[in-house]
Amino acid sequence: MKFHEMELNQVEKALETDFTSGLSQEESAKRIKRYGYNELEEGEKQSALLLFFSQFKDFMVLVLLAATLISGLLGEYIDAIAIIAIVIINGFLGFFQERRAEKSLQALKELSAPQVSVLRDGSWQKLPSKEIVLGDVIKFSSGDRIGADIRIIQSNSLEIEESALTGESVPVSKYIEPLNNPNPGIGDMENTGFMGTMITRGSGVGVVIATGMDTAMGQIAGLLQSAESQETPLQRRLEQLGKILITVALLLTVLVVVVGVIQGHELYTMFLAGVSLAVAAIPEGLPAIVTVALSLGVQKMIKQNAIVRKLPAVETLGCASVICSDKTGTMTQNKMTVTHLWSGGNTWTVDGVGYQPQGNFYRGEQQVSPSEEKALQQMLIFGMLCNQADIIQNDDDYVLDGDPTEGALLVSAMKAGFSRTKLLEEFSIIKEFPFDSSRKMMSVQVKDKQGRHFIVTKGAPDVVLGVCESILWDGRTQYLNKSSQETVQGAISDLASNALRTIAIAYKPVSASTVLLSEQEAEKKLTFIGIQGMIDPPRPEVKEAVKECKEAGIKTVMITGDHVITAKAIAKELGILTNKSKVLDGNALAAMSVEELEAIVDDVSVFARVSPEHKLKIVNALQNRGHIVAMTGDGVNDAPAIKAADIGVAMGITGTDVAKEASALVLLDDNFATIKAAIKEGRNIYENIRKFVRYLLASNVGEILVMLFAMILALPLPLVPIQILWVNLVTDGLPAMALGLDRPEENVMKRGPRSPNEGVFSRGLGWKVVSRGFLIGLVTLLAFIIVYHNDPNRLAYAQTVAFATLVMAQLIHVFDCRSEKSVLTRNPFGNQYLVWAVVSSLLLVLVVIYYPPLQPIFHTLPIAAKDWLLILGLSAIPTFLLAGTFLLRKTK
Ligand code: ATP
């Protein structure tokens, strides 16, 4: 017999497990040994060796290797060996950089791997999905993705969407009864849940019947490996730039070789010169450094509790112009405490802090005993019954398991002396209709000891009021007329205007035979009992974060399911709602088309009583207005909006698997301030990339120009090819990397967001590259000419001086690159990595100048002390010029 045909006790026996206490830790360890981890096998990974060899696939490296071959054939062994050595050193640098980037991305993947609630040794634990074994009992609820194949053993209105396996996107209801069909299709297996499918509604418990490659998903796993592009827009642009540079380089090479040969230079020398010019024109290290900068940035974000799931988001973050954020838990602490209760015209207050179940009830100033206040008592009891949360006592501490709104209702009832365990002896729960954010209600059907059945509903007061036909007033049920409706509305507004989150309680008796009502049938014709109002204090850091975003040209929009007045009160407190901005409520929003919303969306900063489905409309309207939108979410229904947003943000703690999968960014602490931190980091990463693009390209331009100038002036070549190679492939890399690690400039959050269409050379970068490249070329040439004129017989010496000037001019330039304005605006030694990188590069140059065995290879001669004055003087000129013009402009 197969699992789906068995009675539950047979399943339990067959799997040698226990549905009430789960497997023991020991047993599960044994089963992992026996059956392996619950993982799908991934495609072949690139081995380290392959990665190393892939470094040599680069076009320019191939050109170099061809050049080496030709040198070798012409008997120039020293050149050939030197070039090969440099190419290998370069290959190692690239290899280690890529390796590092790959490792950090892998670590990221593990961080965002799904967790599962597993019953082990009698208690529920969160474990990584890969540790689940056959026989494990797991629980799940709306928004979870199931981690293994399971036989369902408990179902509360459970519905699962199985399109990953069946292609059918309509969710299937799931039950626990055995099937008497030995070979049903996956779509018909109503008592089985499958790995990779998604709970769209309700909750349930299941026992694992297959893991890893044995699951239905495992059998088709090969088909599912979808490759999503992880290249960022900038990376793509740089790649295009690279192609252009290669073409330019090739043309230049041909030109130089032809002109050189016509001028009477030796063919081999010109060939090498051409190749080295081509090398000079192309910043080989650039792509690898971009990847490393991105992955290091991603690691920094992790330290600030933000996990980037899609690499391109790192860049998009810097362009964000609107953040749409949930209120509860993201802007507020999600630590709810009931402080006010209202019923039948009476208001009670209750004191106490957090989930500590101690506090007194008051009516006005007067302390009252809840046992003498009938309506109050009923409201508290029903709030406790229609509830899925649990308050667990840990020594003196009380911790919540479940939804904070429900936790607050438990605590308010506990303060009046009620206990859920005792209540459940008097009332048994027959059926649950779980809460969802669109309905904004939850209900249970309960049976008391006398066998009477009730529906108890709790939910957003205005919504609950809409499904009530009567109201409890002075102990009697009265018809809900217009005036009593207005009274209730007034009470809701009063509580909400104090920033309280409100929950109404209602009920109705039903006949005992009416089991399995649908939620529409259950939630109508109810009797309104009262409202509980709870505080949910704002997170202290959010106000400052909203302010910083404003200064950075980023608008913060609050989107909440909560009452309009509650939302307004909190938005004001946080500085989101100002005199100029508006609040739009869910009903008005629902009635609008995207175009209508577009017309006003720029003025709206709070959307209240919104259903998750509406978020997509908000994203679309904002995007049509040209905004780059970050949108947060946690539930299943939030996923479409998260996906559509430019930066989808999911909550790490309260977020469902589905929301996380749709997102580009996960907030480990669910905190709004983390989005701001990630945006800041995103802006910084982009700026850092600009910094080293500026540095590397200016160096390349300088190298080409010095060679071209010399040729135009019919001078000997000022640099020997191997020297250019050494600069380009070895000494440039470290400072560029260090720029990638630079801290943000002070004004990074004081200016507006960058346009997403911004090209690589925008905001003056192109001019900076060309002008500085020109100056570097010029001073290098000058150094060469001065020394060469002094002693035309010592060409190699003049070349060594030119080589040293080139490197020094670049190493000084790197400090300029730290700032968009001038080296004077930042402490040049503020970046430790950069200081060390420059020192190392300097040593790498000195060693080829002064270490005798390397001199013949690099065609160098030791430079005399006095010439260092010339070198340093000339190479500092460009930076002095820039600083001078900056000062001039400032004083004007
Ligand atoms: P946000 O979108 O900022 O997270 P929210 O958490 O208030 O806002 P929802 O969870 O959709 O949004 O809640 C909407 C309303 O539904 C709440 O204002 C509250 O009145 C009611 N509500 C919330 N949780 C429950 C629950 N567990 N049971 C019954 N009603 C609830």
pLDDT in tens, 806-855: 999 999 999 989 888 776 777 878 889 999 999 999 999 999 999 999 99
**From the CB of 406, is ligand 1 less than 6 Å away?**
yes
309-361 per-position pLDDT tens digit: 887 888 889 899 999 999 988 999 888 999 999 999 899 999 988 888 999 99
CA max distance for the chain: 115
What is the β-pairing status of strands 526-535 and 468-473?
parallel
User: Which amino acid would we find at residue 190?
Assistant: E
Q: What is the pLDDT confidence band of residue 678, given thresholds at 50, 70 and 90?
A: very high
- DSSP string of 612-666, one letter each residue: TTHHHHHHHHHHHTT--EEEEE-SGGGHHHHHHSSEEEEESSS--HHHHHH-SEE
- Please name the residue whose Cα sits nearest to atom 9 of ligand 1: 561
Q: Is the pLDDT of residue 190 over 50?
A: yes
pLDDT tens-digit readout, 89-119: 777 877 777 777 677 666 666 666 678 899 9
Q: What angle do CA 471, 472, 476 make, to 5 degrees?
A: 120
Expressed in angstroms and rounded, the spacing between residue 574 Cα and the centre of ligand 1 is 20
Which among 354, 310, 307 has a CA at the least distance from the CA of 653?
307
Which of the four pLDDT bands, split at 50, 70 and 90, describes residue 625?
Answer: very high
Greater model confidence, 226 or 499: 499
Q: 405 alpha carbon to ligand 1 midpoint, in Å? A: 8
* CA–CA distance, 505 with 523 (Å, rounded to integer): 12
Our mutation pick for probing the ligand 1 site, out of 388, 562, 634, counting the most ligand atoms within 8 A of Cβ, is 562
**Residue 680 CB less than 6 A away from ligand 1:** no
Helix (H/G/I), strand (E/B), else coil: 505: strand
**Which of the two residues, 298 and 70, has the higher pLDDT score?**
298
Quote the ligand 1 centre to 205 CA distance (angstroms): 24
pLDDT digits (tens, 9 = 90+) for 27-44: 999 999 988 888 877 655
**How many residues does this entry show for the chain?**
892
Centre of ligand 1 from the C-alpha of residue 561, in Å = 6
Q: Tell how far the Cα of 460 is from the centroid of ligand 1, in angstroms.
A: 7
Mutate to test the pocket of ligand 1, among 440, 529, 611 (most ligand atoms within 8 A of CB): 440
* Residue in 405, 558, 568, 671 to alter for ligand 1 test, most ligand atoms within 8 A of Cβ: 405
Known catalytic residue: 326?
yes
pLDDT of residue 868: 94
Cβ of 326 closer than 6 Å to ligand 1, yes or no, is: yes
pLDDT at 42: 61
pLDDT, residue 227, reads 39
Check if 634 has its Cβ closer than 6 Å to any atom of ligand 1. no
> pLDDT per residue over 258-304, tens digit each?
887 887 777 777 777 777 777 777 776 777 778 778 888 888 888 88
**Tens digits of per-residue pLDDT, 136-186?**
999 988 888 888 999 999 988 889 988 777 777 788 889 889 988 888 888
Kindly state the average pLDDT of the residues 406-413: 95
> Which ligand 1 atom lies nearest to the CA of residue 503?
20
Take atom 24 of ligand 1 and give the residue whose Cα is closest. Answer: 405
- What CA–CA distance (Å, rounded) separates 815 from 687? 14
Residue type, 204: G
CA 558 to ligand 1: nearest atom: 3
Q: Are the beta carbons of 670 and 651 closer than 8 angstroms?
A: yes
Determine whether the shortest distance from the Cβ of 409 to ligand 1 is under 6 A: no
CA of 609, closest atom in ligand 1: 14
pLDDT confidence of residue 62: 73
Q: What's the rounded Cα separation, in Å, for the pair 187 and 266?
A: 77
437 lines ligand 1 (CB under 6 A): yes
**Average pLDDT value for residue range 572-584:** 91
Q: Using a 6 Å cutoff on CB, does residue 681 contact ligand 1?
A: no
Which element (helix H / strand E) includes 886? Answer: helix 865-891
Full set of structural domains in the chain with CATH = 1-225 (2.70.150.10), 237-302+680-891 (1.20.1110.10), 307-332+539-670 (3.40.50.1000), 339-531 (3.40.1110.10)
- Could you tell me which of 201, 200, 218 has the C-alpha nearest to residue 209? 218
Q: How far is the CA of 438 from the centre of ligand 1 (A)?
A: 9
Is 501 a pocket residue for ligand 1 (Cβ < 6 Å)?
A: yes
Cα-to-centroid distance, 524 and ligand 1 (Å): 19
Is the shortest distance between the CB of 436 and ligand 1 below 6 Å? no
3-state SS class at 788: helix
The percent of residues above 70 in pLDDT, for the chain, comes to 94
CA-based nearest residue to 381, from 351, 409, 339 = 409
Give the lowest-confidence range in 294-308, 496-510, 781-795: 294-308
Atom of ligand 1 nearest to the CA of 406: 27
pLDDT of residue 110: 66
Cβ of 460 less than 6 Å from ligand 1 = yes
**Predicted pLDDT at 419:** 92
Best of 156, 437, 568 to mutate for ligand 1, by most ligand atoms within 8 A of CB?
A: 437
Question: What is the token pair recorded at 17?
Answer: 């497990």
In Å, what is the CA distance from 71 to each residue of 75, 268, 556, 712, 814? 6, 8, 63, 26, 34
Q: How many CB atoms lie within 10 A of CB 356?
A: 15
Query: Which atom, in ligand 1's list, is nearest to the CA of 438?
Result: 11
Q: Decide if pLDDT at 601 tops 90.
A: yes
Catalytic, out of 58, 149, 326, 634: 326
Average pLDDT over residues 452-474: 94
φ, ψ of residue 293 in degrees (nearest 5) = -60, -40
Q: Is the pLDDT score of 745 beyond 90?
A: no
Per-residue model confidence (pLDDT) at position 230? 58
How far, in Å, from the CA of 609 to the mean position of ligand 1? 9
Q: How far apart are CA 156 and CA 387, in angstroms?
A: 13
Average pLDDT over the chain, rounded to an integer: 86
State whether the beta carbon of 561 lies less than 6 angstroms from ligand 1: yes
Of all protein residues, whose CA lies closest to atom 13 belonging to ligand 1?
561
**Is residue 614 lining ligand 1, measured as CB closer than 6 Å?**
no
Q: Which residue's alpha carbon is at the smallest distance from atom 29 of ligand 1?
A: 459
Cα 611 to averaged position of ligand 1 atoms, centre (Å): 10
H/E run at residue 107: helix 77-111
- On the question of pLDDT at 662 being above 90, the answer is no
CB 615 near ligand 1, within 6 Å: no
400 vs 678, which has greater pLDDT?
678
- Residue 501 CA, ligand 1 centroid: distance in Å: 8
Task: Determine whether the shortest distance from the Cβ of 141 to ligand 1 is under 6 A.
Answer: no
Q: Taking the mean position of all CA atoms in its chain, how far away is CA 556?
A: 18
What pLDDT score was predicted for residue 509?
A: 93
pLDDT at 152: 93
Is residue 804 predicted with pLDDT exceeding 90?
yes
Query: Is ligand 1 within 6 A of the CB of residue 458?
Result: yes
User: Residue 796 pLDDT more than 50?
Assistant: yes
Ligand 1 atom nearest to 327, measured from its CA? 3
Q: Which atom of ligand 1 is nearest to the CA of 562?
A: 18
Q: How far is the CA of 573 from the centre of ligand 1 (A)?
A: 20
Per residue in 229-258, pLDDT tens?
456 777 778 878 878 877 887 787 788 788
> Of 73, 207, 109, 110, which Cα lies nearest the Cα of 149?
207
* Mutational pocket test of ligand 1: of 435, 442, 500, the residue with most ligand atoms within 8 Å of the beta carbon: 435
- Predicted confidence at residue 459, as pLDDT, reads 96
Contacts 24+ apart (CB under 8 A), 540-543: 541/671, 541/673, 542/331, 542/574, 542/671, 542/672, 542/673, 543/573, 543/574, 543/575
Instruction: Determine which residue's CA is closest to atom 4 belonging to ligand 1.
Output: 328
Give the residue-averaged pLDDT of 203-212.
91
Atom from ligand 1 closest to the CA of residue 561: 12
What tokens were used for 151? Answer: 């036989």
In angstroms, what is the span from residue 246 Cα to ligand 1's centroid? 58
Q: In angstroms, rounded to a whole number, what is the distance separating the alpha carbons of residues 840 and 832?
A: 12
Gap between the terminal Cα atoms of the chain: 90
* Segment among 209-213, 291-295, 582-586 with least mean pLDDT: 291-295
Distance CA 324, CA 653 (A): 18
Looking at residue 379, its pLDDT comes to 94
Q: Does the C-beta of 403 come closer than 6 Å to ligand 1?
A: yes
Strands 346-350 vs 337-343: parallel, antiparallel or unpaired:
antiparallel
Contacts of 480 (CB under 8 A, 6+ apart): 465, 468, 469, 470, 471, 528
Chain-centroid distance of CA 392 in Å reads 32
Query: Is residue 213 pLDDT above 90, yes or no?
Result: no
Q: Strands, E, within 162-245: which ranges?
A: 172-173, 192-193, 198-210
440 CA → ligand 1 middle, Å: 6
